[in-house]
Amino acid sequence: MEDSGPGRAGSSPVASRAVTGFPEGYDLVTDDVLVGRLRLSVTHPRQAEELIDEEEYALDERLPYWADLWPSGIVLAAHLTTMDLAGLRVLEVGAGLGLPSMVALRGGADVLATDWYPEALEFARANANANRLRELPTMEADWGAPPEALLAARPWDLVIGADVAYENRHGPQLAALILRLVRPGGTVLIADPRRPAASSLVTEMREAGWRHEREEVRYEGRPDEQGRVIYLHRFTEPPRRP
């Protein structure tokens, strides 16, 4: 891990690097990722499609979204480098490989990375360790049935997520959970590549009384099927009247 000169968020694969400390049984690749002035390495399975389990999908439509380094995660991580995070309690939902959580951890935040997949959390912890960060706390969490330990850990000053609304059910599930976890007066940051399912998340948060701002960010790295434009959604709760 090192600071670099000014640059745009992006990544480049480094396939030949030997990686240790990661779960075994995967064909791995490591990306060097520049977010703001910060350079981090992110190791992940080379082909997420090879991890699809047909039985798991038939059970609850579970797909290994966690195994890709998504442009939205890089954009969110870059934005976090511009914020003063020292001392904040930060919760990442759908953390996947853990890039935004690593940035928050390095910024001095008290971080908890959560994901549906325990494999994702193994990689998130290993990536934090590979970047010589302090230990990254993690927790397995189903948005529709959150664990009591997660509810007991509330409230959080900042809730973050990147590319977390793939299916129509995800928006309402995630909004309901976030509203239970974020502190009054807290902030929610969601980076999304304009997936249609994300609109329900925005609607639910607005209807709950949260102020919504949307910034369009152009991703300069290799885009996914959604293109280069990433929406950065910022939700803040209006001040309460006395």
pLDDT in tens, 209-234: 999 999 999 999 888 888 899 999 99
| pTM exceeds cut of 0.85 | yes
Which CATH architecture describes the domain 2-236?
3-Layer(aba) Sandwich (3.40)
Residue labelled with tokens 């969110």 = 76
The closest alpha carbon to 208, from 181, 232, 168, belongs to: 181
pLDDT at 82: 97
- Give the helix/strand (H/E) hosting 39: strand 38-45
pLDDT at 168: 86
Mean pLDDT across the stretch 59-70? 72
The closest alpha carbon to 136, from 157, 156, 120, belongs to: 120
Q: Please, how many CA atoms are within 13 Å of residue 9, restricted to the half-sphere of its CB?
A: 25
Q: Is 43 helix (H, G, I), strand (E, B) or coil?
A: strand
As a whole number, the mean pLDDT across the chain is 87
Amino acid symbol at 41: S
